[in-house]
Amino acid sequence: MREHVRITRNRREFLTDAFCGFGAIAFAAMLQKEAVAAAVNPLAPKPPHMKDPKAKHVIFLFLAGGPSHIDTFDPKPLLNKLHGQKRPKEFGEVKYQFINSESRLMGSKRTFHRCGKSGIEVSDLFPHLGECIDDLAVIRSCQGDMVVHSAAQYQLFTGRIMPGFPSMGSWVLYGLGTESESLPGYVVLPDPDGALEAGQPMYGNGFLPAVYQPTMLRPGKRPILNLDLPQGVSLDERRQTIDLIRNLNEADMDPADEEFSARLNAYDLAFKMQTEAPAVFDLSKESQKTLEMYGVGKEPTDDYGRRCLLARRLVEKGVRFVTVVSGGGPGDLQWDAHSDLEENHTRMAAQTDQPMAALIKDLKQRGLLDSTLILIGGEFGRTPESEGGKGRDHHNYGFTFLMGGGGIKGGIVHGATDEIGLMAVEKPVHFRDLHTTVLHQLGLNQDALSFMHQGRRERLTEIQGQVITDIIA
Amino acid sequence: MGLKPIVLGVCAAALLLADGIAPLPTYTAAERRHWAFQPRKQPVVPVFSSPADRKWVRNPIDAFVLDRLKKEGLHPSPTADRVTLLRRLYYDLTGLPPTPQEIEAFVADKSPDAWTRRVEALLKSPRYGERWAQHWLDVVRFGESEGYEYDTHLPDAWRYRDYVIRAFLNDKPYDRFLTEQLAGDELSPEEEETLIASGFNRLGPIRRNAGNQEVASSRNEVLTEMTNVVGAALLGVTLGCARCHDHKFDPIRQADYYRIQAYFAAVHLKDFPKATEEEMAAWKAKVEPIQAEIKRLQAEMKKLKDQAGTEELRKELQKKVEEMQASMPPPLPVIHTVTAKPEERTAIHILARGDYRKPGDRVGMRPLGILLPDGTPELPESATKPRLELAKWITAPDNPLTARVMVNRIWHYHFGRGIVSTPNDFGRMGSRPSHPELLDWLANEFVSSGWSIKHIHRLILNSNTWMQSSALPADDGLRKLALEKDPENRFLWRANRRRLEAEAIRDSILMFSGRLNLKEGGPSVMVPIEKELVNALYKPSQWVVTPDETEHRRRSIYLMNKRNLRLPFLEVFDQPDSLVSCPRRESSTHPPQALELLNGSLTNTEAEHFAARLEKEAGPDLRRQVDLAFRIVSGRPPNARQLRESVEFLKSRPRREFALAMFNLNAFLYVN
């Protein structure tokens, strides 16, 4: 078993700790050569573990709160027939957060259409995304371990049901660095409606160094914290201050001092970010056609459309990992349809369907879809039973996730739930398998991407995950 | 909501299936041989024949270090200059720099005990307690909110923080310190101090959820937190690895894990009220009408729920509810602690893969088997004060781990690297001690001094080892030799240059501007932060800025440590997240740090005040202003180029920009 085998957290420690420190000699030599760039800029691109990986970037379209699989990508005719009845015993027992065993099954009001050449059924909530179905793998057999938001969100993002562990984005940045010097390598675009249950620790770097922390893009005119100059200071004036800082620091440092060189470099990169990043956020350079495609400038797609468009612009600039969140604040402003599924999902889908599809089409037409892995899904699905007559409760035993681009086979269905959408019965895919597949597409190996923490070689997947080979092109 | 039949069914089934008693594991001689499980030795302090060596050796620390250096063919570096030493001492002990006046006075003080007097004065300073408490709070993952979605604030968590500060300041014997934390409520259930201390057992994040309660899994999570920290923080072993299976590398069986957990089987969280009956009645009288109003509003919302077009109105009502919630009077003072409820004892089983739904054999209380003779029986369930028994075992003078682990932590914070460089892991996957004899000698000193932390400080701070310069040897041959043989400086041929921790950077900047509020102790402060960050909370109404503006400028240890909202300034400089134990901080270097220092509100506000202070204290002369600025932030005057560049800059640019630049100097951010 390969678990826990590597004893040190990085090459530097390996070489210095190994063989009673004799490796230190090799370490000194290594620094001379390949690691110079990394020493000065810890986010400089690093080679992946595998040769020629398909994906270079990831865009995770996170549908927070748990969209219903039954009403979107996993049609269940039998459920409609059993509407109003109690769940037949043969489907098994489950435990939900709110509803109990007295609740009744609730059929879906949605109509499903066969889409694309593949003919995969997609509900009428997502007519635009249906047009992209041949670029997407529909994984209908996802499973997580937790039925409450915070813990399920932690597991989806970090592989653990508790906070304190690095998120996918931080792991990927740690593994690959970033290609963009003027932008952060891992960006989260939260929903302006508010935060999610799991809060900041869900996106965070956990015990990885702060250099791998996410940059949260905030709503409004100042998306990146501290990127704007204080009032009354011009860029040119600030440049002079930065020059003074460089001069004063250089005046008493050894030019061969790596750590101090890295500090000087950090100021240059910071300045570069300050001058170049704002242009990325300026959507006015986009053509009218593009803006329209994403639904920018009209409701209800304007906000989410802007953020999807921004995701494309960030990836174009080399940003490694972008998470776009749909849903935030109180449950009803997420996909958390406890009280009225129709109202909630119709509203949420209307905000997101067109922009998500636009993003996929736009990446495709720009030749970026092959190198950009797209993930679409939430922390769980929703119950076949009704909650309070019109809603559905949380459901982690079987639900749908979509993947596309970045070397993923489109137009296929992977796995299945039972006839009422309760349990994943065919080819179950746990979050850890999703994680393993994401890493694999990026050329990262789940075992090799590790960090020594408290005597344990931590990785994204706590228990070994399996690559979902069926969906790889 | 009560238990659902399914859950009861699962529990009953679990009990029926698993009434086997786990056998006591045995350990091989090879497993018992691991260095950290061996009794401490009584190492002989090396002696030297050459006068130069004898002169260098000021105390046994130096003897052990020099002995090792010689074996490696290395040489110690010369003693650092007095300014460097004083600055290092101040940051080591207090997390704040010496003032220019303090430096001047020390440099001028030629008396032989000048150094010792400084060390003693700082060890008595409240700043010392604040600084070293933070180290402990890192290790025990202290936070002031529960984490997860509610992230409910624990408004009295500061009492534990103050307890730790007091403990360090008063040099509370470490065995007593640990005993109070593990078992304070058993030790003296009427005493505030000990009850506050045993809040230690509930420091981890706690998941709470609405709806159907996951009683068994939540209880399991609480017990896991209580158990793991004993391994990581107190014993320096990765006990948590044995939760799901026998430890892969260390002789810790899964049964050992659950036997430690058994000590906590009856432990439950308790908020011990501090208020009098009258105070409670008065509080209730204030709260009840507010709660009634909230109930009324919520009922109104429920009525509107199914009516179309009422979304706006409902939002408004929701806002009112939140306002009412915010207007609740602060909760009455309590002590967040734990208590034993024997009648609510959780049956402790070995859980397959750590899954509470898969209980195996039952186990009772027993310390780590590898440190016991084979066959040592479990403590009977009827034992009174079981955690006190655990504490006795942990703090027994001959426990091979406890003293070694703590002196290693102290060493780590003084040198930037422990004798064992993995302070939470003394197991096989941890690093081996660079100076095993020294580690044992220090641990012996620690125990024989009555577990005095300050005794260890004194030994270290009066050693030539600690006083070495951090500069590379000037001699080409020596430099090359040292860098080739020991580039990581494991054998301490020089001092390690260290970047200041997040808190030290913030506190120092406030001190430079003359605005640091040194008020000690009490409830934590919520500082104003950008609206966008507050809105990024699931419940933004939780962040209620402390009204008194002077409070916002208190030392960082007094700022509210909210698990789901890290203060950007501290976070960017690697402040740990308080979710898991942090034995050693990262020290990363990246552009957002530069952006924070250049554009952040703290540095820009304080730069204004620092600039004004420079003018006020140095007068209009630019050279004098520059000179003073450098002495304040780095402890020494500028060199010729720095003076020239700075004066030139000040001729055309605002003083506040110069002041801001000073906060960005390596000579400030690093300790030599």
Structural domain harbouring B556: 502-671
User: Which of 529-588 (B) contact A at CB < 8 A?
Assistant: 530, 532-533, 535-538, 540, 563-566, 568, 571-574, 576-577, 579-583, 586-588
State the DSSP string of A211-251: GGPPEEPPSSS--STT-SPPTT--HHHHHHHHHHHHHHHHT
Q: Show the domains of chain A with their CATH numbers.
A: 1-34 (no CATH), 44-223+277-471 (3.40.720)
| Domain match, B325 and B349 both | no
| Domain match, B338 and B304 both | no
Banded model confidence at residue A39, pLDDT cuts 50, 70, 90: low
Average pLDDT along chain A: 88
Residues of A in contact with B596 (CB under 8 A): 226
pLDDT digits (tens, 9 = 90+) for B182-214: 999 999 998 999 999 999 999 999 988 888 888
Banded model confidence at residue B7, pLDDT cuts 50, 70, 90: very low
Q: Chain B residue with minimal CA distance to A263? A: B589
pLDDT digits (tens, 9 = 90+) for B276-292: 889 999 999 999 999 99
| pLDDT given for residue A340 in this prediction | 93
Strands A372-377 and A456-458: unpaired
- Please judge whether B664 and A330 are an interchain contact, meaning their C-beta atoms are less than 8 angstroms apart: no
pTM above 0.80, yes or no: yes
Give ipTM to 2 decimals. Answer: 0.90
Q: How far is A348 from chain B (nearest CA, A)?
A: 15
| Domain match, B201 and B325 both | no
Q: Chain B within 8 Å of A14 (Cβ-Cβ)?
A: no
pLDDT of A31 higher than 50: no
pLDDT digits (tens, 9 = 90+) for A209-263: 888 988 888 776 677 888 888 888 888 888 999 999 999 999 998 888 888 888 8
* Residues B564, A376: Cα–Cα separation, whole Å: 25
- Please judge whether B579 and A259 are an interchain contact, meaning their C-beta atoms are less than 8 angstroms apart: no
Q: Chain A within 8 Å of B486 (Cβ-Cβ)?
A: yes
Nearest by CB: A263 against B205, B472, B589: B589
- Please judge whether B645 and A242 are an interchain contact, meaning their C-beta atoms are less than 8 angstroms apart: no
User: Mean pLDDT, to the nearest integer, of B597-623?
Assistant: 97
pLDDT of B154 higher than 90: yes
Residues 6+ apart with CB under 8 A from B654: B611
Q: Let me know: does A122 contact A130? Beta carbons within 8 Å.
A: yes
| Domain match, B366 and B392 both | yes
| Domain match, B606 and B517 both | yes
pLDDT of B530 higher than 50: yes
- Please judge whether A21 and B486 are an interchain contact, meaning their C-beta atoms are less than 8 angstroms apart: yes
List A428's β-bridge partners, or say none.
Answer: none
- Please judge whether B4 and A101 are an interchain contact, meaning their C-beta atoms are less than 8 angstroms apart: yes
| Domain match, B584 and B649 both | yes
| Domain match, B187 and B269 both | yes
* Residues A420, A423: Cα–Cα separation, whole Å: 8
pLDDT digits (tens, 9 = 90+) for B267-277: 999 999 988 88
Provide the CB-side half-sphere exposure for B209 (13 A, CA): 24
Residues of B in contact with A233 (CB under 8 A): 657
Q: Chain B within 8 Å of A196 (Cβ-Cβ)?
A: yes
What is the distance of C-alpha A87 from the center of its chain? 34
Mutate to test the interface with A, among B74, B421, B538, B604 (most CBs of A within 10 A): B538
* Residues B23, B103: Cα–Cα separation, whole Å: 63
B317 in a domain, yes or no?
Answer: yes
B486 in a domain, yes or no?
Answer: no
Q: Chain A within 8 Å of B427 (Cβ-Cβ)?
A: yes
In order of A131, A270, A305, B76, the CA distances from A357 in angstroms are: 8, 34, 10, 66
Q: Let me know: does B666 contact B505? Beta carbons within 8 Å.
A: no
- Please judge whether A210 and B574 are an interchain contact, meaning their C-beta atoms are less than 8 angstroms apart: yes
| Domain match, B351 and B237 both | yes
Q: Which of B299, B316, B332 is the last residue of a domain?
A: B332
Per DSSP, the three-state class of A8 is coil
* Residues A103, A83: Cα–Cα separation, whole Å: 11
First to last CA, chain A: 28
- Provide the 10 A C-beta neighbour count for residue B417: 20
Q: Which helix (H) or strand (E) holds B559?
A: none
B56 in a domain, yes or no?
Answer: no
| Domain match, B298 and B382 both | no
Q: Count chain A–chain B contacts defined by CB atoms under 8 A.
A: 258
Q: Which helix (H) or strand (E) holds B350?
A: strand B349-351
| Domain match, B317 and B218 both | no
Mutate to test the interface with B, among A454, A457, A458, A462 (most CBs of B within 10 A): A454
pLDDT of B69 higher than 80: yes
Mutate to test the interface with A, among B139, B149, B428, B563 (most CBs of A within 10 A): B149
Residues of B in contact with A184 (CB under 8 A): 592
Which residue has better confidence, A268 or B646? B646
Banded model confidence at residue B600, pLDDT cuts 50, 70, 90: very high
| Domain match, B217 and B299 both | no
Instruction: Give the residue carrying structure tokens 């990831």.
Output: A58
Tally of structural domains, chain B: 3
User: Mean pLDDT, to the nearest integer, of A416-432?
Assistant: 97
- Provide the 10 A C-beta neighbour count for residue A283: 16
**In chain A, what percentage of residues exceed pLDDT 90?**
65
| Domain match, B269 and B294 both | no
User: DSSP class of residue B80?
Assistant: P
Banded model confidence at residue A42, pLDDT cuts 50, 70, 90: confident
pLDDT of B88 higher than 80: yes
Q: CA torsion, points B178, B180, B186, B189, in degrees to nearest 10?
A: -170
